[in-house]
Amino acid sequence: MSLPLRPVPPTRAKEQVLVIDPGDPAGRTYNLALGAEDRNVHVCTTAQEGLALLGEVRPDVVVAALDTADLPGLRLLESIRHRAPGVPVITLAGHPTVEGAVQALRAGAADYLGRPVSPGLLSEKVIRALGAARTSRQLIQAQKEASDKWGFSSFLSRSPRMVEVFNAIRAVAGTDATVLIRGETGTGKELVAKALHDRSRRRTRNLVSVNCGAFTETLLESELFGHEKGSFTGAMGRRAGVFEMADGGSLFLDELGETSLSVQVNLLRVLEEMRFRRVGGTHPIDVDVRIIAATNVDLETAVTSGRFREDLFYRLNVFPVTLPPLRERPEDIPILTRHFLTDAAEEYELEAPEAQPEAMELILRYRWPGNVRQLRALCERWVIQCSGRELRAEDLPAELRRGGKPDANPSGVFIDDSVPLPQLTERVINQVERAYMHRQLTKHKGHLIHTAAACGITRRTLFNRMKALGLAVTDYK
């Protein structure tokens, strides 16, 4: 029986806002602008008093003036960041400058506002910072819960539907039962296969994966069972198949619903006997393999229509695990978006953008036909195009802005029509080129000759482009 997911309890009944500003001794302005039924506002006039309250109040957001007499300038911001890491700090400047804004944001400020600031703008900024802090706490909680309670650190979820998946994995992982993972494309079937293998008695042996939909019938037979020299055109020598490679471990057969009836016959025989012959071979080979299969095809319908063998279906469907699509677990979308943005920002060495409420509303409303894989890919794009600023509604692909309707811009690249075409083209090319070179340099550990070969350019061209794009080879050694 599946255990219900207990809701993550809030840290406090009310969110806490700490204001440090010598210009409002009574705190009336801030209480009127920021006070709410679900929010407490604490106002103090000195840096010393504010820092003392940090540990007591444990604020969710801090509003700090940069002109306190006892700790002026960025010293107050640095002290807050040191004592309360992760808490967003909105800074206020009496004489705002572009240079001051750059310095404050580089020092870790969530925002930089000039005084006097309108109550409406301050309220908007605080609400936005509170929302970001809330999402960050949920992400940390989801990671902790998934890792501590169920032991699935690679999954991020607060959904009751995913708890059923976690329980199913835990129940079957320690056995050698055949598992059939079902779900739409991009829902994470390969992650489930890895979780099953990592929790099995075979975890010290190989987990071998093969995408059955990526090969023709002849090549798939060779991929699965191996072949002998000369067994078909191009077979220059003996080759072991994935069943041999996975001997003693687990074999993940992905996209199994795409196989031909001929391959299905041979698969059924191997699953029943754990014995096969290589293509063109005469000697039987015995193996000990745990089978994990996956499909996004409705196999019952495929059986009815004659496209999938009924006996193979029953042989595979010993222990089914069904992954819900992302649209059926909307509570996971904000934390997954935050996680993927942060992850991509670290990979590309860029600053992760924060999604504006309007953008997040559109992200939540979208149906996500490509599921988690589609969300991850879009988050990578958003990091590249929105680094250093907020993710706005207009940054989203047209299908998200239109609620999932067909995209009039099939390229998928955000078209900013406020800039001239040559400037837009150069910007997009540089963003894509930098991300591509970063990946290749990472893969080849900064080896310029190998990286240049992978990029299809000369070493000199690579060096010149790296210099132009701000990439240093020493960062990859």
* Sign of the four-CA dihedral 50, 119, 364, 11: positive
CA angle (454 as vertex; 411, 460 as ends), nearest 5: 105
Supply 245's token pair.
């490679």
Would you list the domain boundaries of the chain?
15-141, 160-324, 326-415, 417-477
The CA distance from 151 to 474, in Å, is: 37
Q: What is the mean pLDDT of residues 338-342?
A: 89
Q: What is the mean pLDDT of residues 120-127?
A: 86
Whether the domain at 160-324 and the domain at 326-415 fall into the same CATH topology: no
| Cα–Cα distances in angstroms (integers) from residue 10 to residues 14, 85, 134, 135, 392, in the given order | 9, 19, 10, 12, 28
Q: Where are the alpha helices (DSSP H) in 183-309?
A: 189-198, 217-225, 242-245, 261-273, 299-304
376-390 per-position pLDDT tens digit: 999 999 999 998 788
pTM: 0.59
Portion of the chain with pLDDT greater than 90, in percent: 33
Contact 326, 188 (CB under 8 A): no
The architecture (CATH level 2) of 160-324 comes to 3-Layer(aba) Sandwich (3.40)
Q: Report which DSSP code applies to 451.
A: H
* Sign of the four-CA dihedral 289, 294, 299, 305: negative
pLDDT of residue 71: 86
pLDDT of residue 25: 63
358: CB partners within 8 A, 6+ apart? 392, 393
- Closest to 254 measured CA to CA, from 297, 211, 302, 192: 211
Q: Report which DSSP code applies to 90.
A: E
Contact 293, 251 (CB under 8 A): no
147-182 per-position pLDDT tens digit: 444 445 557 787 888 888 988 998 999 999 999 999
**Is residue 185 pLDDT above 60, yes or no?**
yes
Strand partners, 239: 227
Residue type present at position 191: L
Q: What is the mean pLDDT of residues 240-268?
A: 93
Q: What is the mean pLDDT of residues 378-405?
A: 86
What topology is assigned to 326-415 in CATH? Helicase, Ruva Protein; domain 3 (1.10.8)
**Is residue 19 pLDDT above 60, yes or no?**
yes
408-435 per-position pLDDT tens digit: 444 445 455 555 677 667 767 777 787 7
CATH number for 15-141: choose from 3.30.230.70, 3.40.50.2300, 3.40.1390.10, 2.70.98.20.
3.40.50.2300
Q: Concatenated DSSP letters for 355-411?
A: BPHHHHHHHHHS--TTHHHHHHHHHHHHHHHHTTS-B-GGGS-HHHHTTTPPPS-TT
Of the two residues 163 and 474, the one the predictor is more confident about is 163
Confidence of residue 214 (pLDDT cuts 50, 70, 90): confident
Strand partners, 83: none
Pairing of strands 61-65, 250-254: unpaired
Taking each helix axis from N to C end, the angle separating 421-443 and 448-455, rounded to the nearest 10 degrees, works out to 130
CB-facing half-sphere around the CA of 133: CA atoms within 13 A: 24
**Is residue 243 pLDDT above 90, yes or no?**
yes
What topology is assigned to 417-477 in CATH? Arc Repressor Mutant, subunit A (1.10.10)
CA angle (301 as vertex; 267, 297 as ends), nearest 5: 60
Q: What is the mean pLDDT of residues 241-269?
A: 93
pLDDT of residue 141: 62
Portion of the chain with pLDDT greater than 70, in percent: 85
pLDDT of residue 240: 85
Of the two residues 422 and 202, the one the predictor is more confident about is 202
Of the two residues 92 and 475, the one the predictor is more confident about is 92
pLDDT of residue 420: 67
**Is residue 464 pLDDT above 70, yes or no?**
yes
Cis, bond preceding 284 (omega within 30 deg of 0): no
Phi then psi for residue 254, to 5 deg, are -90, 155
134-147 per-position pLDDT tens digit: 777 766 666 555 54
Supply 350's token pair.
């860029």
Of the two residues 466 and 145, the one the predictor is more confident about is 466
